[in-house]
Structure 1
Amino acid sequence: MDMTQLRRQHDEISHTAHRLAQATADRTNPRSVGAIRWQLARQLMAHLALEDRILYPALQRAADDRTRTTAATLQTETGALAESFSRYMTAWSDDRVAREWADFCVETQAIIRALSERVDRENRTLYPLADKVDDSAPRIARAG
């Protein structure tokens, strides 16, 4: 299991979330943020799909009970965050963003905080466990 792509995706998600946070920092000056929001949504969907397809199944097969338990807990939490993000994207059309800019900014800052905390937690907790699972996997010798 190569964690490079997942870590790169975390960096991209964090960068885009930061751009969105900057764009919504001024609650009095509406800005066009649709492209940034959809970029973040695409990045997040691709990342979650990769985690669900590769990372979580591998961690659920780990020999270490702590790894399996931590992965199961975080996977459940991820599902809740993904649902919150989906509701956020659905609730805020471009027209509504323009009409209710200040409220949009508040909700956007909250969702960005939740995403940032999640990325940080995965980087600190989940990915080191995945690295250990990866490091402990038997290596396949190449035929000479």
Structure 2
Amino acid sequence: MPILAKLRDEHRVLETDINRMLEIVANPAPDAASIAAIRWRLAQALFDHCAQEDRAIHDRLAQSGDATAIAACRDYRREHGAMGERFGRYIADWPIERISRDWETFGAETRAMARRVADRIAVEETSLYPLLERMVLMRAA
């Protein structure tokens, strides 16, 4: 299924960017310039991925007629929206000047955000994507 392969590839890019951010915040000295660049790229990739996933996965599951898939889709969409809002708040709460001023707290919040994104990726790949794969296989049978 090409779309799932593309979405999984996007997850790998997100993970790479998150790991780079974690490397940066692990340094004792603030590096706001590096954070600004990677954070912008991560935000863009995350929001693009969410939009693609919404069209490719959520819409199909919501219209599938499968009660399990529809219920899961509803729950994932709710969490999906919450993830975008939390990430947007994380960006808004941490302008560059604050990052430089409070590097340690920024690092802690970045690690927490990274865990949330990693958890979401794991759930998508182990629960959400298999629902679509199952639906496609059932229709093909």
- Structure 2: distance between partners of 1:99 and 1:30: 8
Matches within 5 A, 1:80-119: 80-119=82-121
In the TM superposition, what whole-angstrom CA distance separates every residue of 1:47-95 from its partner, at most 9, and x where no partner exists? 0111222211101112321111111101101111110100111111111
| Match of residue 38 from structure 1 | 40
- % identical aligned pairs: 32
Where has structure 1 moved over 2 Å in runs of 4 or more? 134-139
| Match of residue 26 from structure 2 | 25
List alignment gaps of at least 5 residues for structure 2. none
Pairs aligned (count): 138
Amino acid at match of 1:65: A
- Structure 1: distance between partners of 2:132 and 2:30: 42
Which has a greater percent of helix? 2
List alignment gaps of at least 5 residues for structure 1. 140-144
Q: With structure 1 as the length reference, what TM-score do the two structures score?
A: 0.89
- Structure 2: distance between partners of 1:37 and 1:8: 19
Give the CA RMSD over aligned residues: 1.6
- Structure 1: distance between partners of 2:69 and 2:93: 36
Amino acid at match of 2:29: N
Matches within 5 A, 1:64-83: 64-83=66-85
Q: With structure 2 as the length reference, what TM-score do the two structures score?
A: 0.90
Larger radius of gyration: 1
- Structure 2: distance between partners of 1:12 and 1:137: 31
Amino acid at match of 1:117: D
